[in-house]
Homo-oligomer: A and B are copies of this chain.
């Protein structure tokens, strides 16, 4: 920012270099609000879910929205995103990644607020308790049943889903949605839910196992009315090694 040495500027507005540098802070340029909005994906009973809140204040009171908040002037935006999810779920250091910035002038009725989308993946069974215990305004909504959301949150959700689908095909990102120990069929069902496709069981497991990213545990499912499946866990260490070598996971 403020890097240009010359510039054409919109009529009636002076460039930031028309005034001494140290006055910039008090300038009309510093009037933006900054927020983050979180698209939290969960997975339960073969369905993709998303964490929504019911707004209890204007604007858009009573409408569904993504959890989000304004960023404090002395707060990094990544930290703000973590803070919001900590408030909702009680968990720190959740996997989170930026999606996009939304900078339309009129996107917030209260003033100029630009927001950054984040998406996150969590295992509902493990992390849900705090969220559902917290206020009456937080719910896991089936992705297929999400109504129109407040602000431009429908767009933010749409973009986040697309990015998730893209990620999941090229990086083993989906594991955060599963319990630590899982069967290959669970993983397959997860991929099918996210990508809206179906895969051949034999070929799916061959592909996944050939990547050597799963550690076969010496443990099986219990109390299932059929042959119990072998459980696996994700080998994070091996993944990091492969990534460091420029490996790209392709589904």
- Chain A: residues with CB nearer than 8 A to chain B? 1-10, 13, 15-17, 21-22, 24-25, 27-37, 53-59, 65-78, 83-84, 86-87, 98, 100-101, 103-105, 108, 110-116, 134-135, 137, 150-151
Contacts and interface: CB of A to CB of B under 8 A. Distances in A.
A114 B34 contact: yes
B108 A1 contact: yes
A71 B115 CA distance: 14
Given A58-B21, A101-B101, A103-B116, A32 B73 contact: yes
A170 to B, nearest CB: 8
A88 to B, nearest CB: 8
Contact of A111 (B30, B33, B108, B135): B30
A30 B33 contact: yes
B57 A17 contact: yes
Contact of A59 (B21, B37, B73, B134): B21
A1 B74 CA distance: 16
A101 B76 contact: no
Given A32-B30, A116-B101, A3 B72 contact: no
B103 A55 contact: no
A36 to B, nearest CB: 7
Contact of A100 (B29, B69, B98): B98
B59 A77 contact: no
- List of 5 A-B pairs having minimum Cβ-Cβ separation, nearest first: A1-B35, A77-B103, A5-B56, A25-B111, A32-B32
Given A17-B57, A21-B58, A25-B111, A75 B33 contact: no
A3 B65 contact: yes
A5 B115 contact: no
Given A27-B33, A32-B32, 20 more contacts: A1-B33, A1-B34, A2-B70, A2-B110, A3-B67, A3-B151, A5-B53, A5-B54, A5-B56, A5-B137, A6-B134, A24-B33, A25-B33, A28-B73, A31-B31, A34-B114, A73-B112, A98-B101, A101-B101, A103-B116
Nearest to A109: B21
Contact of A73 (B9, B29, B104, B108): B29
A137 B153 CA distance: 40
A137 B4 CA distance: 9
A120 to B, nearest CB: 15
